[in-house]
Structure 1
Amino acid sequence: MTLYLDTADRAAWDELMPTGLFHGVTTNPLLAARAGLDYARIDWQAMAAHARDLGAMELHAQVAGPVEGYVDWAGALYEAGRIAGIETIVKIPLVEAAIRATPAIKSLGGRILMTACYDAKQMFVARALGADFIAPYFGRMAEAGMDAMDHLATMARMNAGAGKPCTVLVASLRSPEQMVALADLGHDCFTISPDVARALMNCPQSIAAFESFEATIKAR
């Protein structure tokens, strides 16, 4: 099971990365805006170093700006990771203009993730491009009225027996219960928000049992 923390909020990194649950951090322009950051002005070397210091093995960030600049943007992110001592992975949206830029980004030698996936058919694109990851937006798919579970089940089957599978990194999750249902389909790689991470660590019955144990010790 591989978990990533899906946020650009460094306070959330500071809180949750020390739990040891997370292999790395994922982010994008929307998450940066929610954290009060100007995506175009982010110092990726500093971000990568901060993630590394907290124990992250990977930092995933999404290309931004004019598509003509995607290759340079990706190269700069890879270099920021190299200097900081952490692997940086470039996220590329599954839209035609970005798809056309992907072979040149791939030629830089770093790993890539195809993001904003809403349909199992997009696995063909990711696999054909040699992508290392694909990120289906499970919660958004369900909220759009799509049969998200069926698409994710199909994606799991498409990877079965593959020579070099494209890791399905499930994103846009709303609860640990969704993670459990997806794990039952065979998925084992998830990126989750701080709120879902907190919910994952807290079970009322476990807390009650722990408090009972502690009360018993104090009573003796």
Structure 2
Amino acid sequence: MADLLHPAPAPRPDFHLCLDSADLDALRTCLPHPLVHGVTTNPTLLRRAGLRQADLPRLVETLLDWRVRQVQVQVSCAQTDEMLREADGLIALADPGQLVVKIPATREGLAAGAELARRGVPVTFTAVWAPEQALFAAMLGAAYAAPYLGRMQDAGLDGLAQIAQMQARLEGSAAPTRLLVASLRSRQACLDVIALGARAITIPPALFAELIDHEPTRAAERVFLADARADD
């Protein structure tokens, strides 16, 4: 966390804020909104929302209609050749660049992601737990590397320290790969990872309101509106 001796990095104008859900009812409370860059999903989120792989075309179409710039969809197999075949089907669901293929950062996944990145397909290496995995993502041309802060902390790790190391590896690589921090469970957790220089976060829809709806701002607005009406 930043302090007076170690100030936070300057905010980046290209910061990406994503929503982490496949629940259309929950997502509809936030979308469309120009602050939201994209929506991230995975098989667990699909299951929680009562969706199956067969529902992905409708999900992707709906989210793009709600003006998100990217939808991230995860492969559901473990072998490199199978991942590539599934990725080809996912890519066909949207225009180039709109569909980001999520792949776990396993040995097989890194190989599949490298091939997709070589073709110009945006890739997120997900379930990133170690600093070297973030470096590997940058080496292979991934768009994002996604660590899970909350899950790291649940496992007894210093998640913020791990993420700081990952961010340092990415900055040292000079690659365009972004750290996309997931498993964020509070507004403070979001602020902490932003202070570390992460260039993207993905949050549950319920957390979106905590970040953008501030009661003091609303209270000030009510005073302004009351004063404006008093002049009528």
Task: Give the structure 2 partner of residue 87 of structure 1.
Answer: 98
TM-score of the aligned structures, taking structure 1 as reference length: 0.87
Query: 1:42 aligned to 2:55?
Result: yes
CA shift for structure 1 position 66: 5.0
8 Å CA contact 1:48–1:86 kept in 2: the answer is: no
Task: Give the structure 1 partner of residue 4 of structure 2.
Answer: none
Query: 1:191 aligned to 2:202?
Result: yes
Partners of 1:126 and 1:162 in 2: CA distance: 10
Aligned length: 216
Aligned partner (choices 100, 113, 136) of residue 102 of structure 1: 113
- Structure 1: segments with no counterpart, 5+ residues: none
Which protein has greater RCO, CA pairs closer than 8 Å, 6+ apart?
A: 2
Partners of 1:184 and 1:74 in 2: CA distance: 34
Partners of 1:131 and 1:89 in 2: CA distance: 10
Q: Bigger shift: 133-142 or 59-68?
A: 59-68
TM-score of the aligned structures, taking structure 2 as reference length: 0.83
Matches within 5 A, 1:34-73: 34-38=48-52, 40-44=53-57, 46-65=58-77, 67=79, 68-73=81-86
Task: Give the structure 2 partner of residue 147 of structure 1.
Answer: 158
- Structure 2: segments with no counterpart, 5+ residues: 1-14
Q: For 2:175, what is the secondary structure of its paired residue?
A: coil
Aligned residues: CA RMSD:
2.2
Aligned partner (choices 140, 148, 161) of residue 137 of structure 1: 148
8 Å CA contact 1:169–1:189 kept in 2: the answer is: yes
Q: For 1:19, what is the secondary structure of its paired residue?
A: coil
Q: For 1:24, what is the secondary structure of its paired residue?
A: strand
CA 1:102 to 1:189, structure 2 compared with 1: closer, same or farther past 3 Å?
Answer: closer
Q: For 1:65, what is the secondary structure of its paired residue?
A: coil
Query: 1:19 aligned to 2:33?
Result: yes
Partners of 1:147 and 1:155 in 2: CA distance: 13
Q: For 2:127, what is the secondary structure of its paired residue?
A: strand
